[in-house]
Structure 1
């Protein structure tokens, strides 16, 4: 079993591409896996937290303060700025605007630490942004919802965010407790095995996330093409802009994990919080958004560079 996991760790990008293709070509399998998404997410979080360990995940007080500031910028300032820019134009309630505002309001995807590992960077900053960002969603989303009441009821979004945070907290705390009972340092062999297991899980996870896209691609190909163009531009555009800003500000080491988080957001969180009238038109966009998301470790390797995993 260990050799299989090591092979998956060396070819993590292949796992991601295989998952994307399976999600498009095997709609029945995607529909089945969609029902298991919460459990898959929880297991992926557990593996991430166990690999990183509590000390690296938490970091120092300075790291936490910087991470909190980045969360406020990425999840509150950016969507508020977009809403305020679109309101005078009467475009704030357009489907495209709603999709982008919700994307910017969402926290990091659970796979951001894995993508960071695939690019050979320290996943701890991405894990901090994931945990803090999800925990602060009930606060950061409030101003956005108050300015955009058509997005749905504040209470529903807050409750959904709290449920997601509870899943993350339970998974992370369980992983930290198990890690504390074992030797403090993981061997390279065990770390590679964890990376391989995470790569396989990510490939399975994306199959379920693509459940809505496969049927739409067969019935509305041009609509899918339009939303895919928007998703690629938004995802990669945010990553490129964030990477340039972080390096320009002298934070080159944190530039890659922060950029990955900036462009890859857990917009699916809002599917369980907002009314169907808001989310139904966005299902194709959410499916399209998985494409640049899961291709990030492949297409942006040249920009980010690749090192041995931390």
Structure 2
């Protein structure tokens, strides 16, 4: 099994493509896996924490000042600015505007640490950003909810965010405990095996996430293309803007993790609270939103390399 995991680790990017293709080509499998998403996400977080270890992830208190400032900009100032511009343009009530505000108000996805690992970035810093963003999400989301009421009621979103934060913390603690007990000083081969296990879990999750897209591809392919263009534009635009803004500042060391957090957001936090009628116009977008995120380690390494090393 360890040899298999190391093989997966060596071909991580190809495995992500296989996961995406499997989710699209085998709708029955995707539909069967979809109800297990919460369990799979918790397992992924545990494996990721096991791979990183508590030593790499510590420092959250020391980094609280810059971390809170960055999260406030990404999860509060950015969506409010987007909403203000959309109001001026008379587009605030369109489904595309709803999708844009929804995405920019959300924290980094739970799998962002895996993206950091695949891009060769500091996964410990990424875990700090992801946990901190999720922790303050109930606070940053409230002004957005007041200005964009179709997003759901504050109480529903608070409950959703609290549950997700609890799962993240429990899975992280479990992973750190397993690391301390079984891999206090892992060898290079053991680290590669853990990387492979993490990639494999990430690939299985994307199969389930592709379930909403299957029907749309058959009934409304043009809508899928348009929503996919918007999803790629938001995700890669935010990552590029963050990298270019921070690469020559004092935050250069965390520019990569912050860029991943900026362009890979956990919209599932809002999905729990959204009324079905409000959610319906952007269901296809939610499925498309997975594409740029899972393709980030395949399409954007040159951008991260140029911005963080060559620039």
Q: TM-score, normalised by structure 1?
A: 0.95
Equivalences for residues 23-42 of structure 1 within 5 A: 23-42=23-42
Partner of 1:69: 69
* Residues 12 and 196 in structure 2, CA contact (< 8 A), matched pair in contact too: yes
Aligned residues, how many? 307
Partner of 2:14: 14
Deviation of 1:293 (Å): 0.7
Matches within 5 A, 1:149-298: 149-182=149-182, 184-298=184-298
Distance across 2 between alignment mates of 1:86 and 1:38:
33
Separation in structure 1 between the aligned mates of residue 108 and residue 167 of structure 2, nearest angstrom = 14
Residue aligning to 2:113: 113
- 1:188, distance to aligned residue in structure 2 (A): 1.3
1:47, distance to aligned residue in structure 2 (A) = 1.0
Deviation at 1:182, TM superposition (A): 4.3
Q: 1 CA distance for matches of 2:212 and 2:183?
A: 43
Do the aligned residues in 2 keep the contact of 1:93 with 1:150 (CA within 8 Å)? no
Which blocks of at least 5 consecutive residues in structure 1 are unaligned? none
For 1:207 and 1:103, the matched residues in 2 are separated by: 21
- The equivalent residue for 2:124 is 124
Distance in 1 between residues matched to 2:32 and 2:233, nearest whole Å:
30
Q: d(CA) in 1 for partners of 2:51 and 2:285?
A: 32
Q: Unaligned 5+ residue runs, structure 2?
A: none
**Corresponding residue for residue 304 of structure 2:** 304
Residues 9-59 of structure 1, C-alpha deviations (whole Å, 9 max, x = no match): 111111110111011111111101111100110011001112222232121
Separation in structure 2 between the aligned mates of residue 49 and residue 124 of structure 1, nearest angstrom: 9
Match of 2:91, SS state, is coil
CA distance in 1, matches of 2:165, 2:62: 23
CA apart distance, 1:90: 3.3
Q: CA deviation at 1:62?
A: 3.0
Describe the superposition over 1:207-243 as per-residue Cα deviations: whole angstroms up to 9, x where unpaired.
1001010110111010111101100100100000001
Preserved contact between residue 15 and residue 202 of structure 1 (Cα < 8 Å)? no
Q: Which residue of 2 aligns with 1:51?
A: 51
Check the 8 A contact 2:60/2:128 in 1, yes or no: no
RMSD, aligned CA: 1.6
| 1:141 and 2:141 aligned | yes
Q: Distance in 2 between matches of 1:227 and 1:32?
A: 25
Mapped to 1, the partners of 2:54 and 2:143 lie a distance apart of 32
Deviation, 1:167, is: 0.8
